[in-house]
Amino acid sequence: MNEVEVASIAPTLAEIETAREVVGAVADVTPMQVSRSIAEILGSPVFLKCENLQRTGAYKIRGAYNRLAKLTAEERARGVVAASAGNHAQGVALAARELGIRATIFAPIGAALPKVQATRGYGADVRLVGDVFDETNAAAQEYATETGAVFIPPFDHLDVITGQATLGLEIWDQVPDLDTVIVPIGGGGLAAGVATALKLKAAEAGRTIQVIGVQAANAAGFLPSLEAGRVVTASISPTIADGIAVARPGELTFPLIEEFVDGVVTVSDDEIARALVVLLERAKLVVEPAGAVGVAAIVHGAIKATGKTVVLLSGGNIDPLLMERVISRGLTASQRYLRVTIPLQDRPGQLATISEIIAAANANVVEVRYSRQNLDLKFTDVEIEIHMETRGAEHANLVLARLRGAGYQPRVVA
């Protein structure tokens, strides 16, 4: 699309301001937190926009409420339906409750229990259908056709995009002299809305800012479309950032992101896990994997921004069981939790010697396992697996060097 065509579908500042008044009836103005620790990594000031502290735990309430508020009386009487395994479900459920609309949410059978319970807690009828999201979405669409309920898309609708754009106005108000904004991208509703609002505000003020999108490397659905110059379906793999795992950009969101987002970068699951640990330890914030991709991009050098940078933490809905796994993975990725295997001759005293070496290096052993089942071992050998806590990569390398210096052959296990 050319600029004129994009302008014809993009919400105007007046429409976004109106949406802010509508959304303000239900959404909080979330905090903007200074992060000195992340600023040290980037080399310039960093601010965290904490939508993880929003009602329902994510920004989705903005777009959902703006869409539902525009339904006619006849449409409201028919009820609404959505397909979602998480944040969109909760946003639609709460918006429907606040507006007195009946909501039915279809979720995959394996959806996280806390998210299902939260959605039901907001008053929605939750139906678990399908092993994969495509099956769930098809069931929701079929329900809409059969019952007349209004289908509420998660990102590809102008009312939804405009609702998410209200977040851009908040960012502008809280850090008016910002230079860069980093935003997660899934289907593109959030990034399209925020980027549109900020670029329009910057143009109005005669200023230039950059907006950078971040996707999970395993599910970078936008990159093939940006390369092709049109919407295409990407091949994606499972990722811990399931909230932004979308294979095909929206038909409305794509041209807006193509026009207003200055670049898109990707981060790996291990990098996301490390970012979650950084946010927990340094910012004292619980953030879901999809919401932490912007911080991951800074911590791992994917973004070299200057001036004042705002990182959007889009949500904080993380299953405690997943959090436990992610923290463990994040500590391992940062080499603060080290797991090694060491082949040994099967004779008394070997473990004591190794323990003394590790203790002298000030590392802490938390688990030890023996195995004789490795076919690469001699009959007279045993393999020992040691889990230990270290203070980071430099300390881990010191422990490994001490073990090798004593004649052992430790192998780091990912």
284 in active site: no
Q: For residues 275 and 267, give the distance between their C-alpha atoms in angstroms, rounded to a whole number.
A: 10
Pairing verdict, β 103-107 and 125-128: parallel
84 in active site: no
Pairing verdict, β 46-50 and 32-34: antiparallel
**Order of strands, edge to edge, in the sheet holding 180-184?**
32-34, 46-50, 309-313, 180-184, 210-216, 263-267
Q: Tell me the H-state helices in 104-174.
A: 113-121, 133-147, 158-174
Active-site residue, from 35, 84, 225, 314: 314
Q: Tell me the H-state helices in 212-307.
A: 222-228, 253-260, 269-278, 293-299
Q: For residues 370 and 348, give the distance between their C-alpha atoms in angstroms, rounded to a whole number.
A: 13
For 53-69, give the DSSP string: GSGGGBTHHHHHHHHHH
Tell the burial category of 237 from Cβ atoms under 10 Å away from its Cβ (0-12, 13-18, 19+).
exposed
Report the interhelical angle of 158-174 vs 189-204 (nearest 10°). 50
**Phi, psi (5° rounding) for residue 261?**
-95, 130
Active-site residue, from 60, 115, 199, 201: 60
List the catalytic residues: 60, 314
